Chains A and B, each alone.
Chain A
Amino acid sequence: MRHLLSISDLGAEGIEEVMRLTDSFVEVSSRAIPKVPTLRGKTVVSLFFENSTRTRLSFETAAKRLSADIMTFSVGTSSVSKGESVRDTVETIEAMGIDAVVVRHRSAGVPWQVSRWIDASVINAGDGWHEHPTQALLDCYTIRERLQTLDGRRVAIVGDIKHSRVARSAVLAFSALGADVTLVAPPTLLPPSLAGWPVQVSHDLDEVLPKVDVVYLLRMQSERMQEALVPSLREYTAGYGLTRRRAAQLQDSTLVMHPGPMNRGVEIAAEVTALPNAVITRQVANGVAVRMAVLFLLLGSGTGR
């Protein structure tokens, strides 16, 4: 595998391989000096056209722990100048001699375009509404940490599916590993077509909650009100928020997940984030090891290119 653009580049086997690699990198991360020489001499560029300090730091930490050299390019710094095309930017960067580029862009598909222009490996760190594969991988890892497997597990993904790259990658990853996925959202926040999506759909969160092993909440942005997608955040929370009252319907073992950043009091109540089965901080913690696994898979000796 040369690039990680979509979860579908991995398939079930590829995801399993990332999970196995992640196990060993979790072990590395727990050491006093959490660093291995695996990618010494390799150069990884983080190219963020859209700000996301969390994701960028997670990738950069992962690369550092593998002893790779890091270059950071982000919008707003002199390194990505306004008006320069994406192609010019990546070709300039590639000329410096690099092995992988981690791309985040607000427009869907940019990592695909970049992969056609350069020889280095391209890792999609989130493209518009489309995909965020490493988020889905760390979610899979986090679920397996607690529930051993996704096979046969019932997962509800709740909220703004339509505009969510997290949801698109999660649906592909969870279902590849055998989970039953139910999307729970008002019709206005679902994609116009779900043809080919291995999911069920519900508009009744209260009916779904008692039956699931994982409830995965998506960030609800206030601009959705301006687009007449929901009347108000209050009404959204009443219908689709994981309130304290609703959380009481969950089975004791049901995991509560969120990709962050959270709007406490909107899609998730503050008290719910503190429940023992809320694994939101585990998701963040696993992010580094999963991204080490992905970098190793693409750049490590003997595998990838």
Chain B
Amino acid sequence: MIRGGTVVDAGGRRRADVRISPIDGTILEVGPDLDPGAGGAGVIDAGGCLVTPGLVDLHTHLREPGGEEAETIESGSRAAALGGYTAVVAMPNTNPAIDDAATVRQVLELGAKALCDVRVAGAITVGRAGKQLAPLAEMAELGVRLFTDDGCGVQDSQLMRRALEYAGPLGVTLAQHCEDQALAGGGHLHEGEWSSRLGIPGIPAEAEELMVARDIALSRLTAAPVHFLHLSTAGSVELVREAKARGLRITAEAAPHHFTLTAAAAGGYDPIFKVNPPLRTDDDVTAVKAGLADGTIDAIATDHAPHTQEAKEEPFDQAPPGMVGLETALALALTELDLPVERVLALLAWGPAAIAGLTGDHGGPVQPGRPANLTVIDPAAEWTVDPDRLASRSRNCPYAGRRLTGRVRHTILRAEVVVLDGEAQR
């Protein structure tokens, strides 16, 4: 039983204890002052804490298969559980790419033993090469609900149109990493003041916005839903806001680093701050925050992208882009966004659960009969980020030394306490 907390879900907040069943992994009873039973065994303290549906990450690079020196499904899922996530969507830019049923099955099997639910995003094109449609139906049959070539966008407009048309009857959503490769021109940093000063080839905001605009048009053309991954520019947010106002089937996510950091962070040439899309400007940060506040952006997604220390010690223009994020996303959102807790949790739990097609299992509501996938958050706990203490196998965290408020205390996966008092239990 989870005792003494305040339950927060899409229905609002109320003081309530939650009794869960380790036998079938569900919630048995929710209410104020439940009887803890004889001796109080099995009571988890949630005093002063929020008891919420488990968080859902739409955008996790677990690196397995092929990148196990940076992360494994096991280590990544431990990081996720410590970050309050009960479900993550594993991105398909592995080696080999997750672009057929066999690879989907392999990742799902490895994920079955993980510390959180591991769902899979399939590639839109074979090998993520942008040439030939991947077997979307075959993967959808295994439960894949999101498809993306993340790492790059589908450059060919006709191919993207066909993919959207073909995906329609499968009931799945195509998700785009928006970047016009020709305009991005092999850049490594947001094109602007800092790229110019540092002598690093830049990626203009318009490289992202072109593809956002194109895919909004293609969604209109095909009537298929499109999800935009990691929006990073003011222009992209505005395009999505307009498209939603016109009733188009568009959803969007933003990553914590795009509302907490700017290109200035890369001023010392530390590739820890290299990410794609790149860190942008103060105005972009402000626009992303506004989009998160007004519902233009539906979800905060980590884009957790582990890389080895060796890789992140390459020269800036050769190091791979990406930052780890699973263990800091919630605290960054609570600390840096001036939003009510309910809105932050909508962005981290029930918003992404809906986009990923996971509402049956994740994202709440917290009520009897529902799967006991829960996170207990201490919203007042202050802590300092120390990359060496992360559970991720990689250390490429850009927030070393940052003070944050709000921390995961317990994470419960199908009634199993996988994180207790901030410690992973396996």
Does B315 contact A110, Cβ atoms closer than 8 Å? yes
Q: Which residues of A contact B310 (CB under 8 A)?
A: 85
Q: Which residues of B contact A191 (CB under 8 A)?
A: 195-197
Does B199 contact A113, Cβ atoms closer than 8 Å? no
Min Cβ gap A162→B in Å is: 8
Query: Residue A87 at the B interface, CB < 8 A?
Result: yes
- The secondary-structure label for the interface of chain B is loop
Q: A107-B316, A107-B318, A193-B191 are in contact. List 9 more A-B contacts (CB 8 A).
A: A108-B199, A108-B315, A109-B198, A109-B316, A192-B204, A193-B193, A195-B196, A197-B196, A197-B197
Q: Which residues of B contact A107 (CB under 8 A)?
A: 315-318
Among B193, B202, B204, B268, contact of A196 (Cβ-Cβ < 8 Å):
B193
B contacts with A, residue count (CB < 8 A) = 21
Among A109, A129, A194, contact of B269 (Cβ-Cβ < 8 Å):
A109
B285-316, CB under 8 A of A: which get 1 and which 0? 00000000000000000000000001001111
Q: Which residues of A contact B191 (CB under 8 A)?
A: 192-193
Query: Residue A165 at the B interface, CB < 8 A?
Result: yes
Instruction: Tell me the bound Cα distance from A113 to B202 in angstroms.
Output: 20
Within 8 A of A (CB), among B378-412: none
Min Cβ gap A149→B in Å is: 27
Min Cβ gap B202→A in Å is: 6
Sample 14 A-B pairs with CB under 8 A, ordered by A number: A85-B310, A86-B315, A107-B317, A108-B198, A108-B199, A110-B269, A112-B268, A112-B269, A113-B315, A128-B317, A193-B192, A193-B195, A197-B196, A197-B197
A contacts with B, residue count (CB < 8 A) = 24
Number of A-B contacts (CB under 8 A): 67
Min Cβ gap A75→B in Å is: 13
The 9 closest A-B pairs by CB, nearest first: A109-B269, A107-B315, A129-B199, A191-B196, A130-B199, A195-B193, A112-B269, A108-B199, A193-B196
Does A108 contact B200, Cβ atoms closer than 8 Å? yes
Q: Which residues of A contact B198 (CB under 8 A)?
A: 108-109, 130
Q: Which residues of B contact A108 (CB under 8 A)?
A: 198-200, 269, 315-317
Within 8 A of B (CB), among A147-184: 165, 168
Min Cβ gap A47→B in Å is: 14
The chain A residue sitting closest to B192, CB to CB, is A193
Does A85 contact B197, Cβ atoms closer than 8 Å? no
Min Cβ gap B282→A in Å is: 12
Q: Which residues of A contact B269 (CB under 8 A)?
A: 108-110, 112-113
Query: Residue A267 at the B interface, CB < 8 A?
Result: no
Instruction: Tell me the bound Cα distance from A168 to B313 in angstroms.
Output: 24
Q: Which residues of A contact B195 (CB under 8 A)?
A: 191-193
Does B199 contact A192, Cβ atoms closer than 8 Å? no
Within 8 A of A (CB), among B166-215: 191-193, 195-200, 202, 204
Instruction: Tell me the bound Cα distance from A129 to B187 in angstroms.
Output: 13
Q: Which residues of A contact B317 (CB under 8 A)?
A: 107-108, 128
Instruction: Tell me the bound Cα distance from A193 to B201 in angstroms.
Output: 12
The chain B residue sitting closest to A105, CB to CB, is B315
Within 8 A of B (CB), among A92-114: 105, 107-110, 112-113
The chain A residue sitting closest to B202, CB to CB, is A192
Query: Residue A131 at the B interface, CB < 8 A?
Result: yes
Min Cβ gap B278→A in Å is: 13
Instruction: Tell me the bound Cα distance from A159 to B218 in angstroms.
Output: 42
